[in-house]
Every structure is written in structure tokens, then in C-alpha cells.
Chain A
Amino acid sequence: MEAETSAMAQGMRQDEDAKLFRLSTERHEEADSREYADYSYARETLGRFLANKGATIAVVIIFAIVVLAIVCPMLSPYTYYDVDSSQANLLPRMPGLEQLGIFDGTRNGIDYYAAQGVPDAYHYFGTDSLGRDIWTRVWCGTRISLAIALVAVVVDVVIGVVYGLISGYFGGKVDIVMQRITEILSSIPQLVIVTLMIVVLQPGLGNIVIALFITGWIDMSRIVRAQVLKMKNQEFVLAARTLGVKPKDIIFKEILPNTLAQIVVTFMFSIPNAIFLEAFLAFVGLGVPAPTASLGTLINDGYKAATIFPYQVVAPVVVLAVLMLGFNLFGDGLRDAIDPERS
């Protein structure tokens, strides 16, 4: 009985199938290429990033500041080191804007430019107590600050990634010893270590970079280690090991590419931190030696005269603030775009 009904049902279904479906005359390769859009991880991430307005604006601002820092000192008629006592402490003056009554080099109705005998000079951000053009100095300073931060952070990445990969991959005794070392290093507040290193090494461009990366790599190594621990027991690593791939190749060719996203995000957040530490050192009196200027030393110089000539400190502080804000927003956007689960 049962077999009979099921056979009948089957026959009916076949009839219906024939009504509903028919053989395709089309080649499936063509159908595939028509039905599916191009997909790539990079494009998907970029799309998510661009949807974040704050982060996109941040990128544009960072780009603008970098361009200004490269171009402005070249185009400016002044240099960052030329001292001219006849032009000391001039207020900001810009062509165009001066018609509107702002940035016209006057205060309380007195035209400082005419009073000091340089009526034709234009100092966009004014001059400091030695008559140096602050516009030029600010962009040169931005250059130096960015360069210090970039070099320090790139070294951080290299040391941190290698350290984290080795510590995480080999585990066991190697890991214990390596982790104790980072634990001790990170038990000293970073500001203290950086200051002491500069005290011992003496202030200078190279030494500031050294002081910054001496503890800067620790965060990076922790993040990379955590990623490696998560990944090293997954099937693709096991497969590589079974096939006899050398540890060096497993680490650098299998695991490293998978931690890249995290590394880039950490990299982005380290840059504003390095810029801040450099500014901090300068503010404590351990910045790059004069006449070289960084944003930090400019703020420190301007701060001394802040109550009489506030414009001298405003320009570098604003550039520093915008730069740090930009990098933080950029980092936030990048993290959310790369790892949408977390936000």
C-alpha cells in the first residue's frame, strides 16, 4: 500500500517538475559572470570606511596638513632659522583677510608692521620674539613632528610584530621569558621611560626617535601575540605544519598576513601617541635643539609669551590638535571598517 502511494506521489512530482523547470540553454559561466558582482575585501572595507563621514574628513585633513608641511616651507620667502630683530613679535597678517579687519597686523588700532618699519611684510601667523616667521616655523615643525612620529612608529611596528610573532608562535618557555620582559618594561610609566632616555642620551632628533620606540613596540607586540595565539591552532596552520613548512614560513607567510588588519589599526593609533610624546618632551625642555622647530618646541616657546602675544602659541597648538584629532578619527574609522563586528 505504502509503496504504491509513494510511487504515485513520485510520478506526480516528476510531472510537476517538468512543468516548472526546463533545461537551460545558457552556459553557466556566462550566467555566473552576469549574476555576481565583483567582490573584494579591500573594496568592501573601503566602502565601509567611506560611509564614515568623520573618518573620511579626517583623511582629507591629514592629507592637507601633510601637503602644507611639505610645500609651505619651500614657497615661503622666510626660513625657519633667520633671526630679524626689526620684525620681532609682529602680529599675524594675511593678504585678503586684512581687508576684513582680521589678520591685519594691528592691535588696538596700532599697525605694528608700519610701526616697526616693515609695512610691506606679510607674516601669516606673525613672528616670534626673535623675528622668525611663525607660518614657516609651524609647517617646518609639523614636518619634523610627523617625521619623528612616523620613523618611531615604523620601528615600533617592526620590533613589535617580530617580537609578538615569535613569542606567540613558539609559546612555552620562550613565551614566558619574553612576556616577563615586556611586563617589566611596561611597569614603568611610558612618560618616565621616555624622559629618562632623553636625559641619558641628550635631546636630538635621533635620540627622541630612540626614546619613543624603546617602549612603543610593547602594545604592538601584545596585539600581534594575541592574534597569533588565536590563529596558531587553526586548520590552515595545522595543514601547513603537516606539509612540513618551516616555522619561519608559517609565521611570515601564513600567520602574518592574517594579522595585518590589526597591525594597521594599531599603527594608526600609535602615530598621534608619538606626536604627543614628542610634544610632551619639548614641553619639559627636552625637545629638538634650537633652531630646529617641532610642534612641541613651538608650543613651549609660544607658551612663555602666551599672555602678551597669545597668537604665538595658538598656531602650533591648533595644528597639533587638528593633527591628533585627525589621526584618532582616522584610526577609529579604520578599526570600524576592518572589524565591523566590534562597533
Chain B
Amino acid sequence: MAQEGATVQRTPKRGRSEMGRYIAKRLLIALATLFVILLVLFLLLTLMPGSPFNNEEKLSPDQIAALKAHYGLDKPVVERFFLYVWNMLHGDFGVSYSIQTNMPISSMVGPRIWTSVSIGLEAGMLGALVGVVLGIIAALRQRTGWDTAATIIAVLGVSLPSFVFALALSYFLGYKAKMFPIIFDTTHPFISSVLPVIALSMFTLASVERYTRSEMVSIMESDFMMLAKSKGLPKAKLVIHHALRNTLISVITVLVPLLVSLMTGSLVIEKIFSIPGLGSLYITAIQSNDYNVVLAISFIYSVMFILAMLLMDVLYVVIDPRIRIAGGR
């Protein structure tokens, strides 16, 4: 393995196939993990107390038995699990029991994923952009007012939960100043997503800012920067061509796990701004014991999480040639 890794650098073609094999191996592990997760989630939810049917106390035992038989809930757990997996592979996640009775979950979840993902991505981009800019300013103007201001923003953003920002923004900018709607309006998706996106982006912004600053500072002090400086390169070129490039490469790798935190962070934000996304559906499903919906959404979150981790591992190898596949253990 180590020897194969060593030849990678020399022949790009073999390097690519090595890369392909690495990705394939990681995908297989990810699939196996997903299967185990699905099993765990399924078992957990079978243990869930309460009944998924509306007003069960009004139903006679016969009616309940009939409902259970109709939805296949009378079969043994193992059989139900494999049936579920089989149906899922065919794009069928079952039906909702109580939120919208008999509605297929794929059609409930489908449009909502897009809303949540687009808000998450917008927040991610905003956070990354502002974070990088602030980080660079802080690194270039070390120990000045700029640096202190950026540090304060970073500490606040990392420490405070996003719902604190959401509540503050919706009260001051939404309710008091009436600049933005406090409840998501599907007919004006852009203007109504301004506040949630800002609130959601704070954590990403702060983490990226911190990371960019420390990377940038250590790069500015490195030998190759000294060499470039001694050759008399103008400051702008020095910063943009040499320092910034190297900083951004490593910032990309911290961004991916942050994207995942955006997905789950949106749970609370979606509730505060009444956004019709995945998170608000998840909360409703939990409160009404609609366990097919809970199962499907938990699984979707896990898939996103695992994909993001996979992406991050692959990006590491692609971006930074110093980390080699064989050395990755």
C-alpha cells in the first residue's frame, strides 16, 4: 500500500485510478454505515411510545388492528425493516400517518429539501465570504482595532446559538424596523430569506474567520513568503498570489463540515421564521408521532452528513498533495 502510494506522484494516470479506488472504498464504507444507521433509526422508532394514528382513543380495537394491517404494522419488526429498505431503494419512503394522512413521504419531503438546502447554501456562502474577508483583514492588520473587532465577532459567532441571532434580528430588523418580514413568505422568497440566512451564517462566518486568520498569520511568517518579499514583490501581489491562495486551500476543507452544521442548525431557524423546510416538518412530525416522516428525515440528515464527510476526505487528498492516500491511515 505504501509503495503504491509512493508511485502515485510520478504517474498521474495511475494516480487517478488510485484515487478512484480510494473513493470507491470510501463509498462502500459509507453505504455500509448508512445501512447500520437505518437499522438503528428503525429500531429506535419502533420503540417510540404512543400511536401514530390520530385520535386513537376513539377507535375500537378492531379498527386499530385493521389500520395496523393496512399499513403493514402487524408484521414482525425484521420483516418490516427489510420491506422498508426494499421500498426505499425504489424511491418509496412510505406514507405519512397523521400529518397529512396517506400522503407519500417523498412528495412531502421533496419540495422542502430544496427550501432548506438553498437557505443552508446561501448562509454557507455568505458566512464563508464574509469570514474569509474578515480573517484576511484581521491577519493583515494584526493588533489593531480591525483585528479586535474581527475577534469579537468571531467569539460571539462561535459562542452564541443561532437562535439568539435569529430572535434578535427578527425583533429589531423585522418587528421594530419593519425592514424584513418576520414570517417566511413563499411568494417573496428572497426578501424573506435575508434574516434567516444572516442568523444561520453567523457560526460559519465566525469559524471561517478564526481559521483564515490563524492560517494567514502562519503563512505570512513562513519562509517562502520571506523569499517572495525579499525578491521585492509588491504587497498586493504578495498577499493575493502567495498568501491568499494557500490560505483558501485549507479554508475549503473546514467549510464542508460547517455546511452540515447548517443543515441541522436550520431546525430552529425554520421554526422561528416559519420557513416551510425540512426542519420545520421534522419538528411537526416529532410532535405528532408521525414516525415514517421522522425516520425519513433523520435518514436524509444522516445521508447529507456522511456525504459531506466523504467530500471532505476526498477534497483533502485532491487539494493537498502532501496528504497521500497511503499516508492517510
Give A residues with C-beta under 8 Å from B: 54, 183-184, 187-192, 195-197, 199-200, 202, 272, 276, 279-280, 283-286, 299, 303, 306-307, 310, 313, 317, 320-321, 324-325, 327-329, 332
Contact = CB atoms under 8 A, between A and B. Distances in A.
B264 A272 contact: no
Nearest to B166: A303
Contact of B302 (A188, A195, A299): A188
Among B41, B164, B268, B309, chain A packs the most CB atoms within 10 A around the CB of: B164
Contact of A328 (B36, B159, B260): B159
A332 B260 CA distance: 24
List of 10 A-B pairs having minimum Cβ-Cβ separation, nearest first: A328-B159, A191-B264, A325-B159, A189-B264, A192-B298, A276-B161, A324-B159, A188-B302, A192-B301, A189-B305
A307 B33 contact: no
Contacts of B41: 188, 196
Given A188-B40, A200-B49, 7 more contacts: A187-B306, A188-B302, A192-B298, A283-B163, A285-B287, A303-B167, A325-B155
Given A196-B298, A200-B44, A200-B49, A187 B161 contact: no
A306 B171 contact: yes
Interface in B246-277: 260, 263-264, 267-268, 271-272
A184 B302 CA distance: 10
B82 interface: no
B48 interface: yes
B167 A199 contact: no
B311 interface: no
B294 A199 contact: yes
Interface residues of B, number: 41
B156 A192 contact: no
Given A191-B264, A283-B268, A328 B155 contact: yes
B65 interface: no
Nearest to B260: A189
A285 B161 CA distance: 17
Contact of A188 (B164, B167, B283, B305): B305
B193 to A, nearest CB: 20
B305 A285 contact: no
B159 A192 contact: no
A303 to B, nearest CB: 7
A191 to B, nearest CB: 4
B130 interface: no
Nearest to B30: A187
B27 interface: no
A196 B299 CA distance: 12
Contacts of A286: 286
B160 interface: yes
B259 to A, nearest CB: 12
Nearest to A329: B155
Contacts of A310: 171
Interface string B289-311: 00000100010011001100100
B175 interface: yes
Q: Which of A192, A196, A329 has the most chain B CB atoms closer than 10 A to its own CB?
A: A192
A328 B159 CA distance: 6
B33 A328 contact: no
B243 to A, nearest CB: 20
Contacts of B167: 299, 303, 306, 313, 317
Nearest to A196: B44
Interface string B106-142: 0000000000000000000000000000000000000
B268 A328 contact: no
A284 B271 contact: yes
Contacts of B156: 325
B47 interface: yes
B130 to A, nearest CB: 20
A258 to B, nearest CB: 25
Nearest to B176: A310
B263 A189 contact: yes
Nearest to A313: B167
B37 interface: yes
A199 B156 CA distance: 31
Contacts of B159: 272, 321, 324-325, 327-329
A196 B175 CA distance: 34
B45 interface: yes
A306 B282 CA distance: 23
A189 B156 CA distance: 23
A52 to B, nearest CB: 12
